[in-house]
Amino acid sequence: MPEMHAVKRLAWEALFYAALLLLLVSVAFPFFWMVKTSVETGQGLFSYPPHLLPAAYSLEGYRTVLEQTSVGLWLWNSVLVASVSTILALTAGVSGAYGLSRFRYRGKRMLALVILTTQMMPPLVLIIPIYTIFIQLGLTDNLLGLILGNFAFSLPVVIWMMKSIFDSIPFEIEEAARVDGASWLCVLTRVTVPIALPGLVATGIFTFLAGWDEFMFARTIVTSTSKWVGTVGLASFIGAYVTPWDQILAAATIFTLPPVLLFLAVQKYFIAGLGAGGVKG
Amino acid sequence: MAGPKIATLRDFGNPNGSMRRWQIDWSTRERLVPFFFLAPSFLALALVSLYPMAHAFFISFHADGVGAVGRFVGFEQYQRILSSDYFPRVLRISVLWTVGNVIFVWAVGLATALMLDRNFPGRPLVRAMFILPWAMPYVAAGLIWGWMFDYEFGVLNYLIQNAGLSASKLNFLLACPDALTSLTAVSVWKLFPLGTVMFLAGLQTIPVDHYEAARVDGAGPIQCFWYVTLPGLRNVTIMLTLLITIWTFGRAFTIIFLLTEGGPAGCTETIVIRSYLEAFKFFHLGTASAIGVIVLLIALAFSVAYLAYAYRKEVGNA
C-alpha cells in the first residue's frame, strides 16, 4: 500500500521536525531569556506573569553595570589570565605531546599514564595545596598566581589532545623532511604543527575557554576586587541585597559574548578536533 | 650547541663516519631527543601538578591547623571522615548527581547527534546552536538559570503552569529532591553538546554497508539502530561515560555552588562541595585535603575498573 507508506513517512517527518524544534527551543531559550532580561526596564522585570518579550527596551542595565562596577577591568583580567595561560600550556604541551607521540623508548606508556592521571585529578586536590604554597610564596591575590594555576589545570589536557592529533599524522610525512636534513625541532615547527593546525586551534580554544570559565581557583586565590576575573565578579552579584537582574544579566551577556563568538568563528575546526579526540580516545 | 645541526642524506647512510664532528654520537643523540621534547612539560607538571598533589597527601595526614598545617596525625583524618554522619550522605548525593548527568548527557547527546546526522535545511545553523551551551561560561549559565528558576518571578514556573504541567508553582531550588534535579538539568544543558559532537564523529565511522547489510536481512529502523548504530558507537559511549563521570563526580562545582551552595538542608551537597566548604569556609585544610584525596582515589578506582570491564567485554566479543 504505497499510500499508507507515504502517510507513515510524513508522520515520521513531522515527528522529526517537532522533536528538533522542541530541542532547539530548550537549548536556545536560556540565551534568549538572558538577553531579553538584560534589556528589560526595571518595572517590567519584576512582573508576574513575565513578559515573553520586553514591554520596553532599554540599555540602562548595560550602562549601569559598566559605569558603576569594574566589569571592564574584570573582563580584561580574564582575557589576560586565559590567554597567557593558554600560550604557556600550548608551548609546553605541544612539545611534550610530540615527545610522547613520535619516539620509541622505555617507559613511554608509563609517562602517558602519569599525564592521564593528572588530567583526571579533581581540581580540589590541586587547589588546596596550591593555595597553601601560594600563601608561602606571596602569590595569592596576584594574577600571576592565577595564570600559573590555570596553566597547571590545562597542561595535561593540552598534552593529551595534541598527542592524539600527532598520533593521527603519518610519520612518513616527517620522515621525508628528516631525510632532507631537518632537525627534529625543525620538523615539529615547520612540518608537523602546520599539519596539526586545526587540532591546535581547537585545543587552544578549549584551553582558553577553560581559563575564561575557571571559577573555583580564582575565587579562592584572588581577594581584592581590582584583581577579580570575570567569573568572580559575576558571581559577586549573587546575594546582593536587592538583586538587579537586568544589570546582572547584562554583565553575564557581555561575559558570554567573547567565548560564543570565538566558538562560532572556529566551530568547524573545533568540532573536528573534539570529535576526533573523542573517537580515538 | 656543538657542531652543525644539519645532516645530509649521505650522513644517514653512514652514521658512524661523518657524525664525528658531533660531541655526542648519533645514536645517543637520537635517543635523547624525546626527553628534550618532554622536558618542559614534565618540569612544569612536576612543579604545578605532581608536587601540589604530593603536598595534598601531606596535608591530609595532618590536623586542621588555623591558617597552617597542624601536627601529624597519620590516618586519623580519613578515619574520622569515613565514620562521620555526613560522608555516606555526600557520597550518595555525588553518585546520584553523577549517574543523572551521565544518563542524560548520553541520551540527549545521542538523540541530537542522530538528528544532525541526517540532512535537513539549515543543518549547519542548528548544529552550531546545539553546541552553543558548551561555550557559555558556567557562571553565566548559573546566573541565567537561577533567574529562570526564581520562585517569585521566574519564567519556568510560568511556562510550566501555562502548559498545564503543574497547577502550583514548583520550588526548583528550595525543595529537597527537586533541587538536585534542577541542578542536574542545568548541568546536562551545559554538557550534552560534548555528547553531540562525540557521537556525530562516531556516527561517521560506522560503514554504510553495515546498514545496507542489515536492511537486506530485513531489519527495520529500530533494529538498525539497535544492532548497527549502538554497537558502532560503543567506543564513543565508553569514552563519553568515563569523561562525564570524572567531570561531574570530581569537578562539578560552579553551578551547585552558585545556585544552592549545597542546600537546601544539604541535599545538593556533593563530596566536592563538602570538601570546598571544609577548606575555604571552615579552613579545615587537613579534612578538606583528605576528602579531596578520597575523591581522587574513587575516581581512579572507577576509571581503572570501568576501562578493565569495557576492555574485557571487547575481547570476549571478538
Helix ranges restricted to H, A168-244:
171-179, 184-187, 193-195, 197-213, 216-221, 230-235
| Mean pLDDT computed over B190-198 | 92
Angstrom distance (rounded) from CA A131 to CA B22? 46
A180–B59 CB contact, under 8 Å: no
A6 with A117, same domain: the answer is no
**Does ipTM surpass 0.95 in this model?**
no
B19 has pLDDT over 50: no
Angstrom distance (rounded) from CA B153 to CA B251? 31
In-domain check, residue A48: no
B14 has pLDDT over 70: no
pLDDT confidence of residue A272: 66
A29 with A126, same domain: the answer is no
Joined together, the cell numbers standing for residue B243 give 569523561
Return the CATH number at A172.
Answer: 1.10.3720.10
Joined together, the cell numbers standing for residue B179 give 533541587
Residues of B in contact with A245 (CB under 8 A): 147
A13 with A125, same domain: the answer is no
Of A236, A208, A221, the C-alpha closest to A71 is A236
In-domain check, residue A50: no
A72 with A204, same domain: the answer is yes
Average pLDDT over all residues of chain B: 86
A24 with A74, same domain: the answer is no
| B8 pLDDT tier (thresholds 50, 70, 90) | very low
In-domain check, residue A7: yes
Structurally, chain A folds into a number of domains equal to 2
Neighbours of B83 (CB within 10 A): 9
In-domain check, residue A44: no
CA B78 centroid distance within chain: 25
Of B41, B120, B137, the CB nearest to A213: B137
B136–A260 CB contact, under 8 Å: yes
pLDDT digits (tens, 9 = 90+) for A61-78: 899 889 888 899 999 999
Average pLDDT over all residues of chain A: 86
Q: Say if CB A252 and CB A234 are below 8 A apart.
A: yes
In-domain check, residue A113: yes
A195 with A264, same domain: the answer is yes
In-domain check, residue A51: no
A165 with A230, same domain: the answer is yes
This model's pTM is above 0.95: no
Range of the structural domain that residue A140 is part of: 60-280
Ranges assigned E (strand) in chain B: 62-64, 69-72
In-domain check, residue A52: no
Q: Three-state DSSP class for A88? A: helix
Q: Three-state DSSP class for A40? A: strand
Beta bridge partners of B64: B69
A16 with A95, same domain: the answer is no
B46 has pLDDT over 60: yes
| Mean pLDDT computed over B6-32 | 57
Angstrom distance (rounded) from CA B113 to CA B286? 45
The domains located in chain B, with CATH, are: 1-42 (no CATH), 86-317 (1.10.3720.10)
Residues of B in contact with A122 (CB under 8 A): 250-251, 272, 292, 295-296, 299
Beta bridge partners of A57: A40
A15 with A146, same domain: the answer is no
pLDDT confidence of residue B59: 92
- Out of A107-116, A155-164, B40-49, B204-213, pick the least confident: A107-116
Angstrom distance (rounded) from CA B141 to CA B139? 5
| Mean pLDDT computed over B138-159 | 91
Of A20, A33, A95, the CB nearest to B144: A33
Angstrom distance (rounded) from CA B258 to CA B182? 13
CA B59 centroid distance within chain: 26
A34 with A95, same domain: the answer is no
Residues of A in contact with B154 (CB under 8 A): 50
> How far, in Å, are A86, B29, B287 from residue A181 at the CA level?
32, 15, 57
Which of B26, B43, B49, B149 should we substitute to test contact with A (largest number of A Cβ atoms within 10 Å)?
A: B49
Q: What is the largest CA-CA distance in chain A?
A: 81
Joined together, the cell numbers standing for residue A183 give 632537525
B128–A267 CB contact, under 8 Å: yes
pLDDT digits (tens, 9 = 90+) for B243-301: 899 889 998 999 999 999 888 889 999 999 999 999 988 889 999 999 999 999 999 89
| Mean pLDDT computed over A24-39 | 93
In-domain check, residue A43: no
A236 with A115, same domain: the answer is yes
A181 with A274, same domain: the answer is yes
pLDDT confidence of residue B147: 92
